């Protein structure tokens, strides 16, 4: 496919929420450091994405998507394509596992896997008016057919990448620029086979090679310093799925982080990747709190269904070590799992009480189409056979479930009150009555209260911005 494009080559990047998506920022950085300086970013939640993109009139429109965002994005792209004709490429996890989205009339290509080099090559060829149908990692629509190119290998040396381009996001959103908490990745990949996640399938697409990779301490320190010197930065959240996965990496990086950066930080980890030595190191270097996936308090549900590979004894042992050093623990949990009973759901509340978590995030289980657990749900009659990204719920926090099983409405209601049930157990008799009633707006507002209190306590943003944000979430029932 050949195209003739104007010399003033423009690239528009789109995502639904107003947030700094670091994967997209990395792709933008790859482009800008290679001469594609005319880039801009547009947010779906702005309410004006379609008209803003039309006014910008880009040559390439790159849309980064999670699967639950795909339907609304396709609708937006259809409207845009009626007015202008950019080359539309979809990336992100949705494109990787739904590359056939390229068959949508409004989409020209999908990018599978990591996009830095694939999108750079695409833009170079389009700018030169050259054929782009044979680029590795892209499925490209051409002459009425789809050319399905193989995914290129994972980037083995992450330090070869330029620092993510955050400035393009900050120009569009003062809130993103000024928020005192900013995200960083110190690694890519996850070795665990959780059935509700794509990680194991994603790794298999590269034959299990080079999936878990780490930035050097030097790269990370330099990147953080660049942000700290130019933007407000009081707290860092390392967004790695398991920050403590590689003990050697943690031991090499954190002492330097303390000496050269010296601000509080948050991490995600696992209870079975916490040792006394690691917990002490975290405490000594400024770790403020840890987010850890518990998912279910029922060990059989957690390991046989969710494939977490996490025993109860690992949970209690890891939590005891963290509590010993005064490290605050926040857990993520799911309610409404396939076959789950109310008794099992209350076990999740009980184990959170036992390990003294500071905050517990609960969401209703929404199967990601094509994951092992979604296929399990279809096979066992919890989901209709036609379940896919077009009919899945958009929000994980609305209190609704697509599963067909006993007590699912009560389970969904319970997730609204779960954090209260953990910290105020005397309310449990009342909560058991409230979950019998239909889901309603009052429940959704109640659900947001612990999030708001947590955000104010940890100074995630100014008081009034936090009030506005959580009011919006309660009304829209989405993140």
Q: Using N-to-C axis directions, what is the helix angle for 342-354 and 312-324, rounded to 10°?
A: 30
Q: How far apart are CA 413 and CA 399, in angstroms?
A: 6
pLDDT tier for residue 448 given thresholds of 50, 70 and 90: confident
Q: According to the 3-state scheme, what is the secondary structure of 119-134?
A: HHHHHHHHHHCCCCCC
% of the chain at pLDDT higher than 70: 94
Residue 252: what pLDDT? 98
d(CA 16, CA 43): 5
- 474 vs 329, higher pLDDT: 329
Orientation of helix 70-81 relative to helix 49-56, angle to 10°:
40
Distances (CA, A) of 128 to 6, 36, 57, 131: 10, 13, 18, 9
Coil, strand or helix: which one is 141? Answer: strand
* Of 181, 322, 193, nearest in space to 263 by CA: 181
For residues 26-53, average pLDDT:
96
What token pair was written down for 348?
Answer: 């999740």
For residue 202, the model assigns a pLDDT of 95
pLDDT of residue 472: 59
Angle between helices 247-260 and 217-230 (to 10 degrees): 30
The CA–CA distances, whole Å, from 469 to 195, 217, 444 equal 32, 34, 14
Average pLDDT along the chain? 93
Residue 466 has pLDDT above 70, yes or no: no
Q: Is the pLDDT of residue 5 over 60?
A: no
**pLDDT(473) > 70:** no
Q: Which structure tokens are listed for 252? A: 């090499």
Residue 67 is given by DSSP the state G
**467: pLDDT strictly greater than 80:** no
Identify the pLDDT of residue 478. Answer: 44
Mean pLDDT of 400-422: 95
Mean pLDDT confidence for 30-53 = 96
Q: How far apart are CA 306 and CA 267, in angstroms?
A: 22
DSSP 1-26: ------SS--EEEEESSSS--HHHHH
Question: Which tens digits make up the pLDDT trace of 139-194?
Answer: 999 988 999 999 999 999 999 999 999 999 999 999 899 999 999 999 999 999 99
- pLDDT at position 7 over 70: no
Q: Mean pLDDT across the stretch 201-222?
A: 95
Q: Checking DSSP bridges between strand 138-142 and strand 109-111, what pairing results, if any?
A: antiparallel
Strand bridging mode 213-214 / 187-188: antiparallel
pLDDT in tens, 103-134: 999 999 999 999 999 999 999 999 999 999 99
**Radius of gyration of the CA atoms of the chain, in A:** 23
Global pTM value? 0.93
Cα 174 from Cα 171, distance rounded (Å)? 7
At 470 the pLDDT is 55
d(CA 175, CA 177): 5
**CA–CA distances in Å: residue 45 to residues 19, 50, 132, 171, 445:** 10, 11, 31, 16, 20
CB 212 within 8 A of CB 191: yes
What is the rounded CA–CA span in Å between residue 357 and residue 401? 26
pLDDT at 2 over 50: no
Among the listed residues 92, 78, 124, the one whose alpha carbon sits nearest the alpha carbon of residue 13: 92
Q: Assess whether pLDDT exceeds 50 at residue 1.
A: no
Residue 396, pLDDT above cutoff 70: yes
Structure tokens at 220: 């990370």
Cα(18)–Cα(12) distance, rounded to whole angstroms?
15
- CA neighbours closer than 13 Å in the CB half-sphere of residue 44: 17
pLDDT bin (cut points 50, 70, 90) of residue 60 is: very high
Contacts of 241 (CB under 8 A, 6+ apart): 189, 190, 192, 199, 268
Distance CA 361, CA 450 (A): 9
Task: Say if CB 325 and CB 408 are below 8 A apart.
Answer: no
Cβ partners under 8 Å of residue 323, min gap 6: 329, 355, 356
Between CA 333 and CA 345 the distance in angstroms is: 10
């Amino acid at each position: 496919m050949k195209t003739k494009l104007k010399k003033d080559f423009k690239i528009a990047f789109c995502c639904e929420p107003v947030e700094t998506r670091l994967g997209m920022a990395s792709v933008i950085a790859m482009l800008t450091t290679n001469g594609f300086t005319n880039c801009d970013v547009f947010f779906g939640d702005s309410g004006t994405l379609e008209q803003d993109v039309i006014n910008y009139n880009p040559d390439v429109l790159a849309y980064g998507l999670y699967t639950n965002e795909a339907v609304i994005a396709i609708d937006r792209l259809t409207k845009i394509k009626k007015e202008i004709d950019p080359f539309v490429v979809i990336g992100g996890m949705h494109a990787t596992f739904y590359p056939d989205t390229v068959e949508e009339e409004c989409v020209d290509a999908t990018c599978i896997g990591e996009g830095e080099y694939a999108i750079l090559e695409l833009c170079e060829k389009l700018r030169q008016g050259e054929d782009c149908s044979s680029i590795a990692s892209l499925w490209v629509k051409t002459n009425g057919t789809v050319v399905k190119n193989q995914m290129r290998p994972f980037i083995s040396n992450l330090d070869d990448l330029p620092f993510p381009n955050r400035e393009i996001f900050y120009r569009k959103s003062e809130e993103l620029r000024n928020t005192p908490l900013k995200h960083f990745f110190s690694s890519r990949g996850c070795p665990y086979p959780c059935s509700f996640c794509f990680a194991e399938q994603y790794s298999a697409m590269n034959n299990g090679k080079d999936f878990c990779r780490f930035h050097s301490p030097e790269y990370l320190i330099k990147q953080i310093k660049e942000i700290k010197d130019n933007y407000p930065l009081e707290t860092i959240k390392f967004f790695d799925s398991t920050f403590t996965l590689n003990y050697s990496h943690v031991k090499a990086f954190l002492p330097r982080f303390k000496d050269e950066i010296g601000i509080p930080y948050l991490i995600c980890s696992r209870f079975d990747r916490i040792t006394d030595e690691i917990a002490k190191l975290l405490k000594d270097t400024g770790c403020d709190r840890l987010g850890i996936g518990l998912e279910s308090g029922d060990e059989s549900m957690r390991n046989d269904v969710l494939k977490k590979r996490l025993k109860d004894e690992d949970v209690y042992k890891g939590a005891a070590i963290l509590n010993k050093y005064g490290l605050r623990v926040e857990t993520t949990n799911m309610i409404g799992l396939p076959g789950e009973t109310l008794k099992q759901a209350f076990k999740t509340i009980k184990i959170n009480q036992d390990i003294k978590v500071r905050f517990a995030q609960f969401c209703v289980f929404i199967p990601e189409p094509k994951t092992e657990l979604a296929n399990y749900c279809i096979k066992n009659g919890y989901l209709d056979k036609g379940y896919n990204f077009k009919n899945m719920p958009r929000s994980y926090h609305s209190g609704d479930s697509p599963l067909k099983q006993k007590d699912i409405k009560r389970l969904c209601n319970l997730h609204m009150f779960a954090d209260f049930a953990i910290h105020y157990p005397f309310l449990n008799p009342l909560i058991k009555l409230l979950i019998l009633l239909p889901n309603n707006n009052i429940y959704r507002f109640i659900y947001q209260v612990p999030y708001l209190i947590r955000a104010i306590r940890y100074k995630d943003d100014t008081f009034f911005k936090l009030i506005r944000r959580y009011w919006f979430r309660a009304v829209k029932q989405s993140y």
